Amino acid sequence: MSTTIELAQELISCPSVTPDDAGCQPLLAKRLEAMGFTIEYLRFGDVDNFWARRGDTTPVFAFAGHTDVVPTGPETQWTIPPFNAEVRDGFIHGRGAADMKGSIAAMVTACERFIADNNSHQGSIAFLITSDEEGPADDGTVKVIETLEARGEKIDWCLVGEPTSSKHVGDVVKNGRRGSLNGTLIVHGQQGHVAYPQLANNPIHSFASALNELVTTKWDQGNEFFPPTSFQISNIHAGTGATNVIPGDLEVIFNLRYSSELTAEAIKSRVESILAKYEQKYSLEWSLSGEPFITGKGELLNATTEAIHSITSRTAEINTAGGTSDGRFIAPTGAQVLELGPLNATIHQVNECVSTQDLDTLSAIYEKILENLLVKES
């Protein structure tokens, strides 16, 4: 097996359910130190992170990734135990194989080969690794970026190893993500007996018209980078469980994935105006997961698409679909940020796996990106 697959196996064997790193980062740091990287461990709360850098000049190219994984679910449902990291029939199996320990392994081995051939490359290479991406993400990448910003250390180009590919490795590159705004709404009514509705105020009934307007509103038309903004209710609850009691409150949890045509403040104002229109008595708490970001044409996108074509002969699709990523914390610093990783077909599923050939191809693509950006043409 290749060094990429061997390293991926070592990482997958660590049961690093968020936020526990379970030994992944020391393993990675040892490999990076051997290449001349300086490692800075940055622990915040219960979260392990590190910033590794080789070189002290600009431009700075950074690989970004996470060692934490989502829970496995019932291990009895897995064909191969989730932390055995077994290779079978051309696939490496285990939690994190695709999301995203395979990508991290490919990044490290790409650097090993690149540095062996280009010891005096231009600029600097860096790694930003966290164990708090699958969890709240409060003490991970965002805190590392705050640390770097406080001392004026900037990333010029950043490649995040999220599993972006659809059918073939390298067929999709993410050049941005939609914003994500969460709301927890409590509509206040008056509890009472269903036989005496005149003595109560049913919050489900009073909210019905406002609900209809919220879910049918056309928030925007999107733009060339983003689809139209989407409003989705993820949870709704009211009642005591009894059939003869009008509930006193109604809880509605919702999310808006929004384009760069809107801001979080504009969305909040619009939602609250709809609630006011229908004279709702309510409490509302907002939580912003991230603002939308986009990386347009430039050095990083050119280097990445050229590398994919050079290694696979494919022309990558560039889009912003999917959920949020830690790129949302890096892009606001002015860095160009892209996401490129293996197939996402099995991420967060039982029997997560990734093709060993795909990981080797991905590592070759990463190496070519480094060459395109950090090797001066003679």
DSSP 102-121: HHHHHHHHHHHHHHHH-TT-
Structure-block tokens of residue 305: 């698409």
Among candidates 159, 31, 9, which has minimal Cα distance to 88?
A: 9
Largest CA distance in the chain: 86
Please indicate whether residue 220 is annotated as part of the active site. Answer: no
Please indicate whether residue 20 is annotated as part of the active site. Answer: no
The dihedral over CA atoms of 356, 362, 367, 372, expressed in degrees to the nearest 10, equals 160
Phi-psi region of 87 (alpha: psi -120 to 50; beta: other; left: phi over 0): beta
Query: Judging by DSSP bridges, how do beta strands 87-88 and 91-93 pair with one another?
Result: antiparallel
Q: What DSSP element (H or E) covers 91?
A: strand 91-93
Q: How far apart are CA 150 and CA 181, in angstroms?
A: 27
Among the listed residues 68, 156, 358, 360, the single catalytic one is 68
Q: How far apart are CA 176 and CA 327, in angstroms?
A: 8
Give the three-class secondary structure for 88: strand
Among the listed residues 20, 21, 112, 133, the single catalytic one is 133
Q: Which residue has the tokens 């008595």?
A: 281
Known catalytic residues are 68, 133
